[in-house]
Structure 1
Amino acid sequence: MKITAIEAIPFAIDYRKPLRFASGEVHRAEHVLVRVHTDDGVIGSAEAPPRPFTYGETQRGIVAVVEDVFAPQVVGLTLLQREVIHHRMARTVGNPTAKSAIDMAVWDALGRTLRLPVSDLLGGFTDRMRVSHMLGFDEPAAMVAEAEKVVECHGIRTFKVKVGRRPVGLDTAVVRALRERFGDTVELYVDGNRGWTASESLRAMREMADLDLLFAEELNPADDVLGRRWLVQHLDVPMIADESAPTPADVTREVLGGSASAVSIKTARTGFTDSTRVHHLAAGLGLEVVLGNQIDGQVGTACAVAFGAAYELTSRRAGELSNFLDLDDDLLTEPLRITDGELVVRQSPGIGFEIDDEKLARYRLDRD
């Protein structure tokens, strides 16, 4: 079970339409496939999705830090030395998705070696999760039409609505249009990606007070410390810390400082090891948890559902597991399928997927 090599393979797949939100927009999934090789011939894989406007990582930067910094520190260790791997990578500042992809690829390799599903190794609470779908910026009619299609084709009935534009009224009109179209047959919550001020956030939430929202996520900037505390005190729904709380320590500061009352766990950002730490912290503090999404492809989504299904707390709410539906293609031999609003964890060794070598060759960017 000794690690002999780590690969970082850049690839790009187009989105069917641009995904727009307050902190930016993306047209292509320019991600990195990270592969951990062992002396037993096992290969574990995971996906690193760079978000330069959120964490400062780029595709080229992830490849460089994996190959030049992390691989030399990790090669030679065994799959069981996960705390050593975590400790060595933590000495390098930042680079959350690069670290997380290595962490999850190690877990995948361990599951394949032991011939056990990673979800069972983590906790094994359930074999499926309800799915939440993200609705990016558009006009109300277009966003309602997209929601109708997702309900009809996939049975999804929980929607995360991107807000944070100005004027505020456009966003609140979208959420109201969704509630009027679907009534109480769907769950709705909003994500501002830090796009509003605290006062704009409160005004918008009051405009939507009758819409029975589950949560509000990152409505105003993370560095607006007093504004966030003031906002949380006035909200009637839990305030989710997402980009403002990328580490367990950040979660502690946000929650104990009164700037958030719930937390989003993203395996693309905290891997399985730190996601477990955040989960245990949330359970101990009695926080609501949402399993978030970093606009992952199917590899990243398989990682997320494996983690989310492992614990009762993370599987309690619908997880954000459908962003791969917006991609033109993906890398798996057997694509993920959302049926009746649920995504099932595959009961095969590791995380539960196989990479299609022909597709990887088609979409990778490091070969002519």
Structure 2
Amino acid sequence: MKITAVEAIPYAIDYRKPLKFASGEVRTAEHVLVRVHTDDGVVGTADAPPRPFTYGETQASVIAAVTGIFAPSITGLSVLERETVRSRLHRTVGNPVAKSAVDMALWDALGRTLGVSVSELLGGFTDRLRVSHMVGFAPAEQMVAAAEQMRDEHGVTAFKVKVGRRPWKQDTDAVRALRTALGDDVELYVDGNRGWTPSEAAQALRAMDDLDLSMAEELCPADDVLGRRWLTAQASIPQFADESATTPAEVARELLDGAATGISIKTARTGFTVSQRVLGLCEGLGVEVVMGNQIDTQVGTVATAAFGAAHELTSRRPAELSNYLDMSDDLLAEPLVIADGHLKVRQGPGLGTDVDEQKLSHYRQDH
């Protein structure tokens, strides 16, 4: 059960179309597949999706951190020594995606070694999650068409709408068009990716006050300290922190400062070990959470679903699990299926992330 090697394999897969939002856009998933090998022949796998415009990590930096810093520090440890691994990973500042992939690959290896699913190891609360789909920037009629397609083909009835453009009216008009087209039975919420000032966000929320939004996420930057408090204090819907709350300490700061009333948990940036700490903090403070998406592949989506389904609090809200549908291809040997608006958690040992080795060979970039 001892770790013998840690791999970092760069690969790239194009999206079907550019995904656009306030903090940037992505055309290609330039990710890193992380594998933890053990002395009994078990291999744990996880995906690292670098987001340079959010966390400052790149494909190259993830590889450097994993192979140059993390692998030497944890090789020789048992897969049961998760706290020791966490301590050694967190000696290094930043690099959340690189750390998280190593952590999740370790959990996958542990589950495979014990012959149980990671979701069961984490808590095993349910076997499926309701799905929310992200609708990115586009003309309003295209955003409506994308949402209608997800509803009709996959039964999805919850949508995160990307906002944060200037002028803000184009976003509020798009959200209104979605509400009109989809009706009152569909859940809508907005995500600004730090694109607005607090005053712009307040104006936009007032303009959408009659649209029955369930929440708003990261409408303005974390650095707008007083502005975020002011906005949250007057807002009529919950304000969720995402990019501003990437560690338990940041979560505590945002909540106790009054800058947010809910938290987005993303396993891609906090893995399973730190995500449990974030979840426990939110439970203790009576704060709602949502399982977020880092434009994940199917491999990454499996991890999000495993954590979200493992706990009661994370299973209450629709989880953002469908962005892999925007990719032109994927590495997972057996594709995920969203049906009746839900995604089932993979059963079997570990995370169930069986990679198609031929596809990995085709898309990897380190030949």
- TM-score normalised by the chain length of structure 2: 1.00
Does the alignment pair 1:273 with 2:273?
Answer: yes
Q: Is the 8 A contact 2:123 2:311 kept in 1?
A: yes
The residue aligned with 1:307 is: 307
Distance 2:243 2:218 in 1: 7
The residue aligned with 1:128 is: 128
The residue aligned with 1:119 is: 119
Q: Is the 8 A contact 2:45 2:353 kept in 1?
A: no
SS of the equivalent of 1:309 reads helix
The residue aligned with 2:52 is: 52
Letter in 2 for 1:146: A
The residue aligned with 1:356 is: 356
Letter in 1 for 2:348: S
Letter in 1 for 2:170: L
Q: How many residues align?
A: 367
Letter in 2 for 1:52: P
Does the alignment pair 1:178 with 2:189?
Answer: no
Shift of 1:183: 1.2
Shift of 1:184: 1.1
**Residue segments in structure 1 that go unaligned for 5+ positions in a row:** none
Letter in 2 for 1:88: R
Distance 2:342 2:194 in 1: 29
SS of the equivalent of 2:33 reads strand
The residue aligned with 2:297 is: 297
Distance 1:221 1:64 in 2: 29
- TM-score normalised by the chain length of structure 1: 0.99
The residue aligned with 2:242 is: 242
The residue aligned with 1:91 is: 91
Structure 1 vs Structure 2 CA RMSD: 0.5
Instruction: Write out aligned runs for 1:218-229 (5 A).
Output: 218-229=218-229
Q: 1:214-246: CA deviations, max 9, x gaps?
A: 110000111000000000001011100000000
Q: 1:159-218: CA deviations, max 9, x gaps?
A: 000000001100000000000011112100000000000000000000000000011000
SS of the equivalent of 1:50 reads coil
Shift of 1:347: 1.3
Shift of 1:353: 2.1
SS of the equivalent of 2:310 reads coil
Shift of 1:43: 0.2
Letter in 1 for 2:16: R
Letter in 1 for 2:63: V
Distance 1:258 1:307 in 2: 27
Instruction: Write out aligned runs for 1:151-166 (5 A).
Output: 151-166=151-166
Distance 1:86 1:215 in 2: 32
The residue aligned with 1:140 is: 140
Distance 1:326 1:84 in 2: 37
Distance 2:220 2:39 in 1: 48
SS of the equivalent of 1:223 reads coil
Identity %: 67
Instruction: Write out aligned runs for 1:2-13 (5 A).
Output: 2-13=2-13
The residue aligned with 1:256 is: 256
**Residue segments in structure 2 that go unaligned for 5+ positions in a row:** none
Q: 1:274-306: CA deviations, max 9, x gaps?
A: 000001111111111000011010000000000
Q: 1:135-170: CA deviations, max 9, x gaps?
A: 000010000000011111111110000000001100
Distance 1:348 1:237 in 2: 39
The residue aligned with 1:333 is: 333
Distance 1:187 1:211 in 2: 10
Distance 2:60 2:353 in 1: 25
Q: 1:60-113: CA deviations, max 9, x gaps?
A: 110011000000001100000000000001010000000000000000000000
Distance 2:60 2:157 in 1: 37
